[in-house]
Each structure stands twice: as C-alpha cells, then as structure tokens.
Amino acid sequence: MAEAKHVAYGSEDGERFKVVTVDGSVLMRNGAVQGGLASIQSRARKWDEKKYEDLRAARDRLLNDAAGGSEAEMARTQCELRDMEARLEFTHGRIKVIAAELQATEQKVSNMNREMKNQENEERAIEKRHSTYESELRRCLHELQEKHGSIMQVEERIFSEFQRRVNIPNILELESHEAQILRERAEKRQQMQLLVHKLEISLEAEHKRIGMQSIDDLRGLVCVLKKKFSDANRTWQHTAKL
C-alpha cells in the first residue's frame, strides 16, 4: 500500500494518479481509498459477526423460553433453532463463495497489472523501433538524393559529350530559338489578320461608293485593291515560310 501511495501521490510535479493495488484497493486522486481485499474482508467479517450474534441471541432466548415453557413451546423452539442453524450454514456457505470470488478478483487484478506492464514494455519497444525506422528512412532519403544528383551529373556529362561528338547544337539554345520563331510567327499572323480586316473594311466602304464614281475612278480603285491584296499575299507567304 505504501508503494501504491508513492506512485499515486509522490510525483515531483504534484500530479496525482488513480492506482489499483494487487489486493484490489483503488487509490483515488482525491486521497480516498475504495474496495480492496481488506475492505471486503472487513465487511464480510462484520456481517458474519452480526449474523452470528443475532443467531446466538435468538438461540439463548429460545433456550430460556424453552426452559420454562410447554412441550409445544419446546418443539416450536427446536424448529426455529433448526431453521436458524440452516440459515447459519447457508451464511457460512455464502461467505465461502464470497471468499472464492474475492480470490478470483485478486487474481484478475494481478493478471491485469501484469498485462499492463507487458503492454508498457511493448509500447516502449515499439517507440524505440519507430525512432530507429525514422532515422533509417532519413538516411535512405539522403542517400537517394545524393544518388539522384550523381545520376543527373553523369547524364549531363554524357549528353554534353554526345552533343560534341555528333555536332548537335545546344538543346537549350535550340529550344529558345524555336520559341522565338513561334513568337515571330504569331506576331506575323496577327499582323496578317489585321491587314485582312482592314482590307475587308476598305472593300466594304468602296463598295458603298461604287454607284457615285466614274469608270476611271473604279479602275484606280481596282488597282489599289490589287496592290493591297498582293502585299497581303506576300506577307502571308513570308509568314508561312517562318
């Protein structure tokens, strides 16, 4: 019990714990003690003593009554006495049953305490393995990063040697040049679309004025439109070559 109290209330930081002793006693955080073998035995002993005293007093009373009573009274007294003896025997049997249950409870408490210790040991072992696995994982990741960096360096060196051997231009420069060409094509295409749109607007405007112009004016307009169309066609061909 002293060891249990030290575990329950002896923490340096003042924290208290609920503790179950081997005999089944429960030490509460507020200092109260519940249950346990001593408590059960004490209650059983008090109950047994009280029943025994009651039965003995009843027996004495019956014997006293029987000493001065009739035969009928004596028979009734003997019957009551046998009944009390039967009750007393039942009480003793009940006490034995309670003692057996108490012993079984103590064994269960002992088994539970042993199981708790085993689980605590297993938990510490698992935490230790977990820490070891984490360290191993970090080491493996570090090695993997180093290997990956080495592989990238080797690949870059091999590819550079291959480029020099077969006279292939630098891939990055080639990709940059192609991107520049694509941007120029997009700009030319946009200019071409704008030119076509302007031409369409001019055609629509000139078409509205056809009825009020002379033949010479129309011929001049046709020449202007042909020139614009020729310029647009050359721009388009140049864009397509890019």
Asked whether residue 17 is domain-assigned, the answer is yes
- Tally the domains of the chain: 1
Tell me, yes or no, whether 19 lies in a domain.
yes
Pseudo-torsion of CA 25, 28, 30, 35, nearest 10°?
A: -40
Give the sign of the dihedral formed by CA 101, CA 107, CA 111, CA 114.
Answer: positive
Q: Do the domain assignments include residue 48?
A: no
Tell me what pLDDT residue 168 has.
Answer: 58
| Residue 69 resides in a domain | no
Each residue's pLDDT expressed in tens, for the chain with a length of 242 residues: 566 665 556 666 666 666 666 666 666 666 666 655 555 555 555 666 677 677 777 777 777 765 655 566 767 777 888 888 888 888 888 888 888 888 888 888 888 888 888 888 888 888 888 888 888 888 888 888 888 888 888 877 877 776 677 665 566 666 777 788 888 888 877 877 787 777 767 766 766 665 545 555 656 666 776 676 676 666 666 655 55
Closest CA to 234 of 200, 188, 181: 188
Residue 187 lies in a domain: no
Residue 114 within a domain? no
pLDDT score at 154: 84
pLDDT of residue 160: 75
- Residue 233's pLDDT is what? 65
Beta bridge partners of 25: 35
Residue 58 lies in a domain: no
Q: How far apart are CA 193 and CA 232, in angstroms?
A: 9
21 is in which domain, residue-wise?
1-35
**Order of all β-strands in the sheet with 19-20:** 19-20, 25-27, 33-35
Q: What is the pLDDT of residue 170?
A: 62
pLDDT for the residue numbered 198? 76
Report d(CA 114, CA 108) in Å as an integer.
10
